[in-house]
Structure 1
């Protein structure tokens, strides 16, 4: 049985071994050197450890407090698996489904050493939960062998903001250079984390809507954009076009820019929107203008907005005035594709 001699309170500094002994039950101390996701099932807890000093060594440079949104702050946490594409079963699946498995989630950040040459000091950040609506995003980075691979970046939200140790130095690291990394479009789906669980790709979903319970009540999340991108990828594939995307980092800024789709055959960049409204189209125009500045041969790169239906005449005129092509879904396919010759 786990002991109660260690209390998870704000400001706690401890070690992984102490946590394992206190909360892991018989033999748990042996798990102190496990990867950063450590279930303590004897105590119905799941500990995750973020180590900014080792992150780049393993291709993990996404961890930290992100910009957040209207629901509050978000801590980005990269899943486990230092070599090759990360997989969702196993420990990553446990983190994804911690609520369903009855595990309370606790976040720690590595913060120096207990003494020179001693164990790493773990600073308790607070109790968290994986975001119910967008639990993770897919990102790309180089593993310890220098191979580009997919990683899962989980979006963790504080359960109690007043009991969360948020520090400026724990923010997501800013990029040291501006770079657009070409990334492939993986055709194999993410394997379900648990039997019967639905798989999730970045912004791709099999149903039109998802209902999720979050701290604010029920929220209906529209997935039409993901459906639209998936359908257009199939359309491109049938047309014999190769496609991929980019992950763009900007010097001095945290996070990444991720265009929806790049048609390699036509040297064309697409930004998809799930709603055919003026505000969505205006946003897409701005995103495309931002993306193209960071890509090779921007003077010959064609850009297009991908929509689920035909917009109004004035919105069409807006796109034309900005030199942005329009492709929209119809009952029989996609109008506006292929793009007119440059």
Structure 2
């Protein structure tokens, strides 16, 4: 039976037993809908994530929408889904429940013996909500079985309706980037979407054309419905085909997922040829803008990759970008692989 005699004030040190006695909820789950109240209790313990090889949980850098806390969903092995606690957190607002965030903060100490007791202290951060614009993203991380899988990383923001603002400490910040480990490649030919129909958001179709600036060019820009998805599909199919080509040649192919200190999102590379130590960036077209973007991405990734010494860079394209862009890549020391009618041509196949 709950008693509701625990006053939740940001910064409060408590235990799960005390919270459970006051509001309900279990003692072990990371996300606990409290049956004795209109709350969903979220218990974050970044050190547990470190044990499994990822460090997503914690306070990211403030952005134009204010403080942001990242929290990895429930599910120790296999792809995480919107069931159980994950579903309760995802739909806390529509279910009429507030979201209360706690962070593990040291061990519970017996005041008499001074010895550690079972369980951890819980520091109350405050009342939160899911980010209305980006409530979550999906990332790659190992499960307890060591197998890479897709995990849900929720984006928590301070609840504007809360009585008190959240209280963070420097210890809550996301640690420096350590997730340079190569992860298995999963080629996505379509953008990832939530499987629950009510979560799908659409702004409706749109189509517009704008004139180019007066630069003596015959190029125009067309924002066609589904156009970007078409490019992504081409890129995904190209990446998938080239991966199969490398694997058939006996190469080991992976990808990198890079976490940046204090930044909410992760960087995910395209192909990494472990056998030849080559990092590839693929593009679905041979347009100059895409080639230039690929160059920037490769240089950005290289700064954060442990294997950067001796790492070779390459751009993967569906066709020949032309003499000038080939020269640009050559000047920068970036190799070029293109798809041909016979398969693929260029570095390192030539």
TM-score under structure 2 length normalisation: 0.67
Uncovered stretches (5+) of structure 2, i.e. residues with no partner: 110-115, 207-224, 248-252
Give the count of matched residue pairs: 306
Larger radius of gyration: 2
Q: Are 1:101 and 2:95 an aligned pair?
A: yes
Aligned to 1:123: 123
**Pairing partner for 2:299 from 289, 314, 333:** 289
- Residues 282 and 317, structure 2, Cα contact 8 Å, conserved in 1: yes
Taking the TM superposition and a 5 Å limit, the aligned residue runs for 1:298-313 are: 301-304=312-315
Q: CA deviation at 1:49?
A: 0.4
Q: 1:172 aligned to 2:174?
A: yes
Query: SS at 1:157's partner residue?
Result: strand
Q: Which runs of 5+ in 1 are unaligned?
A: 210-221, 328-332
Query: Does residue 86 in structure 1 map to residue 60 in structure 2?
Result: no
Partner of 1:10: 10
Distance 1:165 1:281, change over 3 A: farther
Give, in whole Å, the separation in 2 of the partners of 1:178 and 1:118: 30
SS of alignment partner, residue 300 of structure 2: helix
**1:251-262 equivalences in 2 (<5 Å):** 253=261, 258-262=267-271
The 1:12/1:185 distance shift into structure 2, 3 A limit, reads: same
Residues 172/236 of structure 1: CA separation in 2 closer, same or farther (3 Å cut): closer
Deviations 1:76-118 (A, max 9, x none): 1111112233233222222222222222111100112342215
CA distance in structure 2 between the partners assigned to 1:98 and 1:34 by the alignment = 20
- Judged with a 3 Å threshold, the aligned counterparts in structure 2 of structure 1 residues 341 and 121 are, in CA distance, closer, same or farther, namely closer
1:215 aligned partner:
none
Q: Of residues 35, 43, 51 in structure 1, which corresponds to 2:45? A: 51
Separation (CA, whole Å) in 1 of partners of 2:331 and 2:174 = 38
Aligned-pair CA distance for 1:11: 2.3
**Secondary structure at 1:43 match in 2:** coil
**1:75 CA displacement:** 0.8
Q: Distance in 1 between matches of 2:107 and 2:49?
A: 17
Q: Which residue of structure 1 lines up, in the alignment, with residue 258 of structure 2?
A: 248
Q: 1:295 to 1:171 in 2, by over 3 A?
A: closer
Superposed CA offset, 1:267-304 (max 9, x none): 56226699x896x9766533311323537587674433
CA RMSD of aligned residues (A): 4.7
TM-score normalised over the length of structure 1: 0.68
* Alignment partners' CA distance in 2, 1:277 and 1:71: 34
C-alpha distance in structure 2 between counterparts of 1:262 and 1:270, whole Å: 7
